[in-house]
Amino acid sequence: MKEIFHSQLKKSRYVAVLTGAGVSAESNIPTFRGSGSNSLWKNHEVTQVACPQAWEKDPGLVWEFYNYRRKMMGDKKFNLAHKALADLEKKLQDQQKTFSLITQNIDDLHFDAGSKNVTRLHGSIWMVRCCKCGYVEKNREVPITNAFNQESSGEKNHYKVEDLPKCKQGCDGILRPNVVWFGESLSKSNINQAFLSAQNCDLFLVIGTSSLVQPASSLIQIAKSSGAKTAVINLEETVADHDADFVFHGKAGEILPELFSV
C-alpha cells in the first residue's frame, strides 16, 4: 500500500490536504473526539461555550474559555506531522507542483512549521475581531486582559464589560476571538478555496480529522468525484475511510514522514 501511495504521490501535480485536531494531538493539544479527547471545560460542553448564544449571554465566560485555551496552546510546538507537511509543500513547489493545505485547526502550528499555502477554515485563536468595526488583528496576549490573570478556581467567575478586551482602532468595541463558533457560517472565500482545492487536485489527503463536521467532511467526496486519488491518515477508523483509495491507521507524526519520503 505504501509503495503504491509513493508512486501516486510522485506522479501527482496538485496535492491538497485537509487536517484536523489529530494533527496537533502529538503536540499535546487535546482533540474534540476520539481517544484522549476533551470536549468539556469546567463542566461546560465546548459546543455550549464556543457559540454565539453563549457570547450574547456571557461574553466574559466565553473569553475565560478562550483565555484558558490560549494559555494551553501558547507554549505548544509543532510536531513531526506539521513538519512533514511543510516539507512536502516545499518539495512540491521546487518541482513546480501545487500544494494546498486546508485546516480545521485554530492553533496556527502549520504556520509555525513553515507551511505557506494554508486555508484556516475555522479561523485562528491568535487573531481577534472587533464586534463593532470588524477590524481583525493578531493578538498573542495571554492573559487577554489583566482581569483574566488569576488562575481559575473552578468557581464561576463573573467578568464585567470593563474586563473584556477592547478595539484599539478608536471605536472601543469589544474584541472576540476570530474563530468560527458552532452555528456560525464559514468565510465564503475560505470555503470556496477549500472546494476549489478538492476539485482541482489529483491527490487529496485527509489527516487527523474525525470527518464528522461539515463542510470539511464532504471535501473527500468532492475530490473523489472530481477524479482525485484519496488517502486517509488517522489513529482510528473514520467515516471517510470508505471514500479513500489509501487508508493508513496510526499516528500522523509517525506515518507522514515515511509516506512523504519519495
**Residue positions annotated with a catalytic role:** 122
Segment 1-20, which members bind ligand OAD (CB under 6 A)? Answer: 20
Q: How far apart are CA 106 and CA 179, in angstroms?
A: 7
Our finding on whether 104 is near ligand OAD (CB under 6 A) is yes
- Single out the residue of 22, 59, 165, 177 in contact with ligand OAD (rule: CB under 6 A): 22
Helices (H), the chain: 2-11, 22-25, 46-49, 52-57, 59-74, 80-94, 109-113, 188-200, 219-225, 252-259
What are the grid coordinates assigned to 45, written together?
A: 460542553
Binding part of the chain for ligand OAD, among 26-34, 57-65, 126-134, 167-175 by CB under 6 A, reads: 26-34
Hey, what's the torsion of the CAs at 49, 55, 60, 66, to 10 degrees? Answer: 50
Does residue 213 touch ligand OAD according to CB under 6 A? yes
CB nearer to ligand OAD: pick between 6 and 251: 251
Rounded Cα–Cα distance for residues 229 and 203 (Å) = 5
Segment lying near ligand OAD (by CB under 6 A), choices 53-61, 64-72, 91-99, 210-218:
210-218
Question: Residue 214: how many CA atoms within 13 Å on its side-chain side?
Answer: 6
Candidate residues 6, 14, 32, 80; the one interacting with ligand OAD per rule CB under 6 A: 32
For position 110 contacting ligand OAD by CB under 6 A, the verdict is: no
Among 59, 164, 208, 220, binds ligand OAD (CB under 6 A): 208
Contact between 122 and 214 (Cβ < 8 Å): no
- Select from 31, 100, 124, 197 the one that contacts ligand OAD (CB under 6 A): 31
Asked if 202 and 13 touch (Cβ cutoff 8 Å), the reply is yes
User: Which residues of the shown chain bind ligand OAD in the complex (CB under 6 A)?
Assistant: 20-22, 25-26, 31-34, 37, 50, 104, 122, 180, 182, 208-210, 212-213, 234-236, 238, 251-252
